[in-house]
Structure 1
Amino acid sequence: MTTLPHVLVVDDHLEIRELLKRFLEQHGYRVSCARDGREMRKLVAGHEFELIVLDLMLPGDDGLTLCRELRASSETPIIMLTAMGEETDRIIGLEMGADDYLPKPFNPRELLARMKAVLRRTSTRQEAVEIEAATCKFERWTLDLSRRELLDETGVVLSLSTAEFDLLKVFIERPQRVLSRDQLLDMARGREAQVFDRSIDTLVSRLRRKLELDAKNPQIIKTIWGGGYLFAAEVIHD
C-alpha cells in the first residue's frame, strides 16, 4: 500500500489552513497544520513530512527564522508563502534554503503545481546515481566533473555552456532512464524553468551536435516519443 505524501502547512490564518487542508487532501495528500513556530516544532518532532508550506509572517518566530532552523537539521522541501511586495524577504528565504516561494494571495492550484514540481525534484535527486568519481566516461567522451569539462578521445576539451553541462550531468547520473521534459527542466534548471518552457529541446539539440557522430541519427541521447529523452550510452565512473 502506497503511503500518501505528508505535508505540513504552517500559517496563522485559520481560513488558509482549513482551505489548504481540504484542497490538498482532495488531491491525495495527508495534511497537518500549525499556526506558529511552537506548534510546528511539536509536529516536526513527532512526524516525518515530505514537504512544508511555511508562511513568512507568523506570530513569534517568523518564517525566515523557522526556515533557517528547519534547514539546519533537515532537508525537507520548503515552500514559503509571502506577501506580494516582499521581494527582499523572498530572496532571503531562498538563500536560507527554501525550495520555492508563492506570493499571497495565491490560487491553491498553483501551490499544488509548485508542490508537485518540488517533490519531483527531490525524488529524482534521491534516485540519482551518486557520482563520487572525478570523471565519467561514455562512448568516446570523458566528462571531468570537478573541472566541468568535456574531453574527446584525444584529450581535446570541448566547450560546454553552463546549461549544457548541467543537462549532460543530469543524463550521466540517470543513464538508461526515460526522462520527461518537465523532469529535465526541474533537475537541470530548478525554479528558473518556466511552464511550457521548450528550451530543453534546444539544449538537447545543441548537446547532440557536440556529442553524436550523426546528430540526425542520435545514438547517445535518444528521443522517446511521447515520453521525453533517454541517455542510451553506457556510463563508466572512474
Structure 2
Amino acid sequence: MEHILVVEDEVQLATLTEDYLKASGYRTDALYEGIQVIEWVKANDPALILLDCMLPGKDGVSLCREIRTFSNVPIIMVTAKIDEVDRLVGLEIGADDYICKPCSLREVVARVKAVLRRHAVIPENFIQDPVSEEQEEVLHLDKARFKATLKGSDLDLTAVEFAMLDILAASPGRVYSRAQLMEAIYRDNRIVSERTIDSHIKKLRKKFTEVQPDYELIHSVYGAGYKLEY
C-alpha cells in the first residue's frame, strides 16, 4: 500500500484529503507545519508528497527544494496564490506537478494516481538496448533511487529530468520527437507545450555542462527532435 504524505495547514482540508486518498487504497499521514516535514520524509520515505505552498514554519517551495537535495520522491505542489503558478508550471523547484486551490478532491486523487504511474511504469513503446561498458562509464542511471551520474559525477536531476534522460538513454542514437517525449513523460494527458520539453532539455544540458564542461550528450535533430549519443 503506497504511503502518501499530506502537508497542509488547514486541518479540515488535510483530513478530507486523507479520507479521499484512503478510499482509493492509499495509506496516509498528515503534517500541518513546514518545520516538521524534512525530518519526517527522511524517516518515513513516502511514495508521494502533497505539499501546500503556504505553511507555517517553512514554506512549501523551500521545502521542495530542500527535499530535492536528498530525495526524488514525487511531489505535487498545492497553491492558492496566482503569482506562484508561473514558477510551478515550469516545475523549476523540482516538483512533478501542481494543483491550484480551490480544487476537487477527486482531481487531487487523479493527479496522485497519474504521478505515481509515471514514476512506476517505463513507457511500453521505449525498448532499452544493451549498454556497452564504455557507455556505462559515461552515464549511469539508478532507477530505484532516481540517481544519475555522468562520468562518475552526480547529476542533481528532478524527477521529470530523470524520466526524460531515462527515455533518451534507452536507445542511444534514436531520435525522439517532442510529441513522443511529452506522451511518455506526461502520461496523465496533461496539456503541455513543446517549449516545456525544450526547457527540460536545456536544463539537462546545463547540468551536464556543470559536471563535464566539454562533453555533449544530448543532440538536437533539426525538425525532428532530440537524441542521446555518447
Q: TM-score, normalised by structure 1?
A: 0.56
How far is the alpha carbon of 1:19 from its aligned partner? Answer: 0.7
Q: Residue 222 of structure 2 aligns with which residue?
A: none
How far is the alpha carbon of 1:26 from its aligned partner? Answer: 1.4
Q: Residue 21 of structure 2 aligns with which residue?
A: 24
Amino acid of the structure 1 residue aligned with 2:75:
I
Match of 2:82 among 85, 90, 112: 85
How far is the alpha carbon of 1:192 from its aligned partner? Answer: 8.0
Q: SS of the counterpart of 2:35?
A: helix
Amino acid of the structure 2 residue aligned with 1:56:
C
Amino acid of the structure 1 residue aligned with 2:39:
K
Contact 2:4 2:29 in 1 (8 A): yes
Q: Residue 151 of structure 2 aligns with which residue?
A: none
Aligned residues: 155
Contact 1:12 1:58 in 2 (8 A): yes
- The structure with the largest alpha-carbon Rg is 1
Distance in structure 2 (CA, Å) of the matches to 1:98 and 1:24:
20
How far is the alpha carbon of 1:62 from its aligned partner? Answer: 0.7
Contact 1:84 1:105 in 2 (8 A): no
Q: Decide whether aligned partners of structure 1 residues 163 and 98 sit closer, same or farther in structure 2, where only a CA change above 3 A counts.
A: same
Q: SS of the counterpart of 2:30?
A: strand
Matched, 1:190 2:186: yes
Q: Residue 60 of structure 2 aligns with which residue?
A: 63
How far is the alpha carbon of 1:59 from its aligned partner? Answer: 1.4
How far is the alpha carbon of 1:9 from its aligned partner? Answer: 0.4
How far is the alpha carbon of 1:121 from its aligned partner? Answer: 0.5
Give CA deviations for 1:26-61 in whole Å, capped at 9, x if unaligned: 111110010122222232132120000000011121
Contact 2:114 2:188 in 1 (8 A): no
Q: Residue 162 of structure 1 aligns with which residue?
A: 178
Contact 1:11 1:35 in 2 (8 A): yes
How far is the alpha carbon of 1:148 from its aligned partner? Answer: 6.9
Contact 1:6 1:31 in 2 (8 A): yes
Match of 2:98 among 82, 98, 101: 101
Q: Decide whether aligned partners of structure 1 residues 14 and 124 sit closer, same or farther in structure 2, where only a CA change above 3 A counts.
A: same
When the two chains are superposed, the root-mean-square deviation of aligned CA atoms in Å is 3.3
Identity among equivalent positions (%) equals 38
Q: Decide whether aligned partners of structure 1 residues 45 and 129 sit closer, same or farther in structure 2, where only a CA change above 3 A counts.
A: same
> What stretches of structure 2 of length at least 5 have no aligned partner?
136-167, 192-230
